[in-house]
Amino acid sequence: MPGGLLKMACVLYPGSFDPIHNGHVELAEIASDLFDEVVVAALVNPSKGDGLFDLEERMFLIGESLKHLPNVRTTKFNGLVVDLATEVGADFIIKGLRAVSDFESELQMAQMNTALAGVQTLFLPSASRSSFLASRLIREVIKLGGDVSQMVPELVQKHLEGKS
């Protein structure tokens, strides 16, 4: 895996993570290889509803799902992502892109965050085998009694069982 200058960087990987799925885990693993320190944060997305898990549960499930990555830590935050980026000393925000359809809203958020605080966002492509994964669909499948065990970490699967 490449090292160099990026190895000096601390990056913030924000998201709703409601819940974390295998696509998120994969992106965190890539980021863990690329950067010195990765902070994965569960945040509120004001344009989404209440959610399935509260922020505390989401942070717990993120932490457990990523505990094999020594340079990754987990937090939660209810506020502007740029304020959290400042708080944790992040050099960049990172986001995963699954498809072109993600790009429009992600670009707009990245530009807003740059306008608010000068922070830049780096986009990382998700691997094609997980590009269909979305927390929204995981929640929907679970509510309707489907099986997502191949799409989420084992512990997340266990916590989802109580929600169907």
Report, as residue numbers or ranges, the catalytic residues. Answer: 24, 48, 98, 135
Q: Is residue 59 a contact point for ligand PNS (CB under 6 A)?
A: no
Q: Is residue 94 a contact point for ligand PNS (CB under 6 A)?
A: no
Surface-to-core class of residue 102, CB atoms within 10 Å of its CB (0-12 exposed, 13-18 middle, 19+ buried) = middle
Chain center to CA of 102:
14
The 10 Å Cβ neighbour count of residue 62 is 28
Contacting range for ligand PNS; rule: CB under 6 A; set: 1-9, 14-22, 30-38, 63-71: 14-22
CA 77 to each of CA 19, 44, 146: distance values in angstroms, whole numbers, following the listed order:
16, 7, 31
Q: Is residue 109 a contact point for ligand PNS (CB under 6 A)?
A: yes
Distance CA(107)–CA(60), nearest Å, equals 29
Q: For ligand PNS, which residue of 3, 8, 45, 129 counts as binding (CB under 6 A)?
A: 45
Least distance CB 78 / ligand PNS (angstroms) = 8
**Residues at the site binding ligand PNS, with contacts judged by CB under 6 A:** 14-16, 43, 45, 80-81, 109, 112-113
